[in-house]
Structure 1
Amino acid sequence: MNETIDDTDLRILQILIQDAKRSHKEIGEDVHLTGQAVGARVRKLQDLGVIEGYTVKWNPERLGLGLQAFVTVFMNSGDRHAAFRTFIASREDIVEVHRISGEGCYLMRVRTGTTEQLNQLLEELLHYGNYKMSLSIRVEK
């Protein structure tokens, strides 16, 4: 990586993390650059892989997806991992999956609308192994 990241790049990144909708011109006013110069720095951060994409903050409860759970999966055998990865890729209710060390093989964040939908997912998980589940009561941060 020949390009270096300076303090101005880091300030631009922090502004985008807080509000990715801000225009380059607005950001430039905060970091004392033109909008065009900010755009060039943002492209550099994208090219370097520092900025991987943009996202939207949304309220899943407004869409009836208010039930969130964390599920630790304990695989039955080593040859089930490939099938499990195919399974999780096909499920929209599985929001996030981490391969973990320590207790369990995978940690999943799941979001559904009803306990029945959650139960159906858990039943399907039994094809791959056992699980331990915790329901989210409230998001603190």
Structure 2
Amino acid sequence: MRGIDDTDRQILRLLLEDGRRPYSDIAERVDLSPPAVSDRVDRLQELGLIRGFTVDVDRSMLREGVPVLVDVQVEPGNAAAVRSSLSTAETVEHVFTTADEHVVFTATAPEADVQSLLDDAVEMAVIEEYTVDLLADTSWNPSLGNAELAPSCAECGNTVTAEGESTKLDGTLYQFCCSSCQSRFVEQYEQLREGVDS
């Protein structure tokens, strides 16, 4: 599996600054042709490193409630479900899960009513307690640093290195740490697909 190089990182940084930046502008800055930039962006999307291009809305310019930071302690085993539910809530901006299964999120609470926001978004029975802090200001600055590409193996969960394998199945690219994991995964995938087609 090919990793990412300095040119890929430059392209990603430029897209983080402005997701609508034209490929011709990026091409000038990284010394490539626009089609070469397009190919690299397509590859980064296929790898799953670029998940999409979004709009960064400055909610402080909108009057719709009070900006809050909420730390929710959930019953063990429920953090993923709570995080998933909160991620789809209209007024929630960012959701994080800590190693000790706290779910922390930023939101704009209508009429400063966090209880109603939680009632609408999650199953309250799994919430043990929560704390709310009013936010004075926020900024969101995603960055790359010198990070290396390190996807997880679709079969065993280990980190996939440059020696890893990849396979596209039904339009989805899967990464594997070794050929054994790739073989097992593909074999199981084919068996499941045959079972569905039968």
TM-score interval (norm. to shorter): 0.7 to 0.9
List structure 1 runs of 4+ shifted beyond 6 angstroms: none
Counterparts of 2:65 and 2:76, CA distance in 1: 33
Letter in 2 for 1:110: A
8 Å CA contact 1:60, 1:66 repeated in 2: no
Counterparts of 2:16 and 2:79, CA distance in 1: 34
- Report 1 or 2 for greater relative contact order, CA contacts < 8 Å, sequence distance ≥ 6: 1
Structure 1 length as normaliser, TM-score?
Answer: 0.76
Structure-2 change in CA distance of 1:27 and 1:58 (3 Å):
same
Cα RMSD (Å): 2.9
Give the superposition deviation at 1:38.
Answer: 0.8
Structure-2 change in CA distance of 1:85 and 1:7 (3 Å):
closer
User: Which of 114, 122, 125 is equivalent to 1:118?
Assistant: 114
Matching residue of 1:98: 96
Matches within 5 A, 1:35-74: 35-65=34-64, 67-74=66-73
Identity %: 28
Q: Deviations over 1:89-135 (max 9, x none)?
A: 56322333322234x622122212422x3353367776432111111
Q: Deviations over 1:17-48 (max 9, x none)?
A: 11111111111111111111110111111112
Structure-2 change in CA distance of 1:24 and 1:136 (3 Å):
same
Counterparts of 1:44 and 1:87, CA distance in 2: 30
Counterparts of 1:26 and 1:140, CA distance in 2: 26
Aligned residues: 137
Counterparts of 1:89 and 1:38, CA distance in 2: 31
Counterparts of 2:26 and 2:7, CA distance in 1: 11
Matching residue of 2:86: 88
Structure 2 length as normaliser, TM-score?
Answer: 0.57
Structure-2 change in CA distance of 1:123 and 1:13 (3 Å):
closer
Matches within 5 A, 1:28-39: 28-39=27-38
SS in 1 for 2:32: coil
Structure 2: give runs of 5+ residues left out of the alignment: 141-198
